[in-house]
């Protein structure tokens, strides 16, 4: 049974967490209803005052929503075990949704108990408690809507499936209903209520920084130079949770992928990355290398006498170098060679930490090839360097982290080509990296986990050595636009909201447009912008400190600047000319389009070519012009979509699942059209490995997955592990509780994240040092 990571918060919250685990759902609901009725009766007797009326109304609402929610949660929980990997791994989106709703109920239970005990006290903060109760009542209402959505998925989906498989118009209808729900309540006072208490201050800081940064961004102050000052201009967002929640909701719905790319790359700034590295382990080697685009050969695994040609990446931008970062706790043989030094690339004042040492350590028998996350659109190995240094120390093996090109400038399959090329180069030149290459592990998180699977699939298709194992932390294995119970959690997740996920997938699939940057920014490039921003940081700090004080004096009714009309931008071609000119796939044109998971599981190995010869852009075959599916209909668009909507029967419309009289809160923000792309490329197994045929998945080495129970991508891990298990492939799944997606980057934050990061290291160690056969 998976170990539960308990709260490291205050003693009162520890007791609350223990209570939530010891009380069953019905007991929690009944206790909450009893307290709500008592408080409702008390405040109803306090006269006609507005505050008393609102308090009585909020407790009446809590009673109504709790009684309406409990039966639906009970039905979901009664069948949730059918979707687990096994009895030892009780985890899937249905369980997570029930757990999240239960957390909200428990919080309201404790708040109701506090009100009942202190409502007569002269120190009772009426306004504060009323605001918190109203926020959590709204959250509970929205969670009730999600529970009905999950119940609808359960009733309409194929038995045992977490991802919806069926008419894409039904999916579009579902997502349309889902995305119009109000979300601001989850980003204000209720921010991160489902996570461990130690995470919540971090999430609050991120949310304040994001909305402040968004203000600069919408005023066309793009670039990283605004970041330092924006961190100090969020005073009013810190003291007004409702304002922060509303602005957060507006930002996540309306701003484009370039905003997220810029915001996530804040950690790439020299000063911030240096501060992060000061708290990490000290290593002897940390240097950036540039692998030249040179063709080389590798032996065929089945017949080492036959050589396979590995060509450099070509998709979209043509041949180009691939950047990698070598990290090693000890200076090992080969790492100070002239050949490796010739590949070094300067990073400025901290370009490398290689120091002279009288004696070198021998080459390690192991090597870890790491692929970072970031939604395919952001971050580099520098963002992940702090925990990679700890890995290098704990594992005693060199780590090669790949800095692949990012979307939307370099969409699929460029990142895959670069990661595959770097992996093959590392296998061939492991001696230069300080390893004998006896054991090689591929490791990655989020988007990097996706690339770990696809790199291994491509290595098997080429016939070259596959890694000895894969460790994937919270990986994305299904990029196709579809619904699942864990995806519903994106409504409240401040790190992975649905609109942001959609923008990242669209960018990776080639569906984003390029911004017309100023000529000076184009000339500078990202590295130049970072260098410029470092020089301006002290100025930003000075101005920002002043802005912080002034922000508390701003009037709440101050009018915002009107949004400028965006300039029409051309759509960038999402596929290179070379990829479009490729012949049909050996599996047949659009052979994977329209196949369900069940269909794919029935495809035998006979459908796989005997000689898998992939061109450099073979993953892009069948990449047709995506058809846009409008999942957020604006009023003026309704008439254009009415014909397609009429074809859907009443029983297929998701809102019909709501009982009579229940009306969840809808978003008050005007959101841009969120476009999901229905294209064969999204079903390509090199983009969505969950959709790979059995014959491809059977080529994978042992897989170790570490997932998060509250992650919108939990179902990706569960379904992928279930598919591998059904094929008798070696796979383990460990699910950590109460932590958000991306916990590896938060490894130093609290005990829970350190334990989760240690679990990832343990899984890698199983690959590098597999247990011997039982005696």
Catalytic residues: 446
CA distance 451 to 416: 6
Give the residue carrying structure tokens 């329209």.
594
Sign of CA dihedral 506, 507, 511, 516: positive
| Phi, psi (degrees; rounded to nearest 5) at 734 | -120, 130
CA distance 13 to 589: 57
Name the strand (E) or helix (H) holding 645: helix 638-646
CA distance 610 to 541: 62
CA distance 124 to 50: 17
**3-class DSSP state for residue 678?**
strand
Cis peptide bond prior to 103, omega within 30° of 0 = no
- Which residues on neighbouring strands pair with residue 440, listed in sequence order? 367
CA distance 157 to 174: 13
Q: Which of 263, 572, 265 is nearest to 410 (CA)?
A: 572
Name the strand (E) or helix (H) holding 670: none
Indicate the length of the chain as a whole number. Answer: 775
CA distance 66 to 68: 5
Instruction: State the pairing for strand pair 322-328/399-403.
Output: antiparallel
**Cβ pair 94, 80 in contact under 8 A:** yes
**Cβ pair 168, 724 in contact under 8 A:** no
CA distance 3 to 586: 45
CA distance 297 to 300: 9
Going by C-beta distance under 8 Å and a sequence separation of 6 or more, which residues neighbour residue 603? 693, 694, 695
CA distance 752 to 4: 10
CA distance 731 to 339: 38
CA distance 594 to 616: 25
Name the strand (E) or helix (H) holding 401: strand 399-403
Name the strand (E) or helix (H) holding 522: helix 519-551
Going by C-beta distance under 8 Å and a sequence separation of 6 or more, which residues neighbour residue 748? 279, 280, 386, 754
Which CA distances in Å does 506 have to 35, 244, 484, 492?
47, 27, 19, 21
**Residue 696 tokens, joined:** 């491809």
């Amino acid at each position: 049974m998976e170990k539960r990571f308990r709260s490291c918060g205050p003693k009162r919250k520890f007791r609350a967490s223990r209570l939530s685990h010891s009380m069953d759902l019905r007991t929690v609901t009944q206790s909450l209803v009893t307290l709500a009725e008592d408080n409702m009766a008390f405040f109803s007797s306090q006269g006609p005052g507005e505050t008393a009326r609102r308090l009585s109304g909020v407790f009446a609402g809590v009673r109504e929503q709790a009684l309406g929610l409990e039966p639906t949660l009970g039905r979901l929980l009664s069948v949730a075990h059918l979707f687990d990997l096994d009895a030892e791994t009780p985890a899937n989106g249905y369980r997570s949704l029930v757990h999240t709703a239960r957390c909200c109920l428990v919080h309201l239970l404790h708040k109701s108990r506090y009100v009942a005990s202190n409502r007569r006290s002269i120190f009772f903060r009426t306004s504060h408690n009323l605001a918190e109760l109203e926020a959590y009542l709204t959250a509970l209402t929205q969670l009730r809507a999600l529970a009905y959505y999950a119940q609808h998925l359960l009733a309409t989906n194929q038995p045992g499936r977490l991802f919806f498989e069926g008419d894409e118009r039904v999916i579009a209808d579902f997502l349309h209903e889902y995305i119009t729900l109000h979300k601001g309540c989850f980003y204000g006072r209720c921010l991160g209520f489902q996570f461990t208490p130690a995470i919540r201050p971090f999430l609050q800081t991120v949310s304040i920084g994001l909305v402040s940064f968004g203000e600069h961004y919408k005023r066309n102050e793009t670039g990283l130079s605004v970041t330092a000052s924006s961190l100090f201009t969020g005073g009013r967002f810190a003291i007004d949770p409702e304002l922060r929640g509303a602005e957060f909701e507006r930002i996540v719905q309306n701003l484009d992928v370039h905003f997220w790319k810029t915001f996530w790359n804040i950690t790439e700034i020299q000063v911030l990355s240096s501060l992060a590295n000061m708290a990490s382990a000290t290593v002897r080697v940390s240097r950036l290398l540039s692998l030249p685009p040179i063709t080389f050969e590798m032996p065929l695994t089945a017949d080492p006498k036959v050589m396979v040609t590995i060509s450099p990446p070509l998709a979209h931008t043509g041949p180009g170098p691939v950047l990698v970062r070598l990290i090693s706790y000890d200076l090992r043989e080969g790492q100070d060679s002239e050949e490796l030094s010739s590949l070094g690339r300067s990073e400025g004042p901290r370009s490398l930490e290689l120091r002279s040492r009288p004696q070198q350590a021998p080459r390690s028998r192991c090597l870890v090839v790491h692929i970072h996350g970031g939604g395919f659109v952001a971050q580099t190995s520098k963002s992940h360097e702090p925990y990679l240094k700890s890995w290098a120390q704990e594992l005693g093996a060199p780590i090669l982290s790949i800095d692949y090109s990012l979307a939307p400038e370099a969409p699929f399959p460029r990142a895959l080509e670069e990661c595959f090329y770097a992996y093959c180069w590392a296998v061939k030149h492991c001696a230069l990296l300080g390893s004998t290459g006896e054991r090689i592990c591929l490791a990655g998180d989020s988007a990097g986990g996706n690339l770990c699977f696809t790199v291994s699939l491509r290595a098997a298709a080429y016939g070259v050595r596959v890694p000895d194992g894969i460790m994937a932390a919270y990986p994305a294995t299904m990029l196709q636009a579809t619904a699942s119970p864990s995806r519903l959690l994106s409504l409240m997740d401040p790190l992975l909201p649905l609109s942001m996920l959609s923008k990242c997938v669209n960018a990776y699939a080639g569906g984003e447009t390029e911004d017309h940057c100023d000529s000076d920014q184009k000339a500078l490039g990202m590295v130049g912008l970072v260098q410029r921003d470092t020089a301006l940081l002290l100025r930003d700090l000075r101005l920002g400190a002043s802005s912080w004080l002034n922000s508390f004096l701003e009037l709440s009714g101050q009018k915002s600047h009107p949004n400028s009309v965006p300039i029409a931008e051309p759509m960038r071609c999402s596929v290179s000319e070379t990829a479009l000119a490729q012949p049909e796939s050996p599996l047949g044109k659009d052979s994977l389009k329209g196949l369900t998971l069940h269909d794919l599981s029935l495809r035998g190995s006979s459908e796989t070519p005997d000689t898998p010869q992939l061109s450099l852009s073979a993953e892009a075959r069948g990449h047709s012009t995506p058809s846009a599916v409008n999942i957020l209909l604006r009023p003026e668009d309704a008439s254009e979509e009415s014909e397609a909507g009429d074809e859907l029967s009443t029983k297929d419309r998701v809102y019909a699942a709501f009982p009579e009289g229940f009306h969840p809160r809808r978003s008050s923000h005007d959101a841009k059209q969120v476009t999901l792309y229905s294209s064969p490329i999204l079903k390509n197994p090199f983009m969505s490995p969950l959709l790979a045929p059995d014959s491809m998945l059977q080529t994978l080495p042992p897989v170790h997955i570490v997932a998060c129970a509250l992650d919108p991508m939990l179902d990706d891990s569960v379904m992928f592990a279930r598919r591998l298990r059904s094929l008798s492939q070696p796979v383990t799944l460990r699910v950590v509780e109460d932590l958000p997606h991306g916990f590896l980057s938060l490894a130093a934050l609290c005990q829970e994240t350190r334990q989760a990061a240690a679990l990832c290291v343990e899984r890698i160690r199983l690959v590098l040092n597999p247990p011997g056969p039982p005696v």
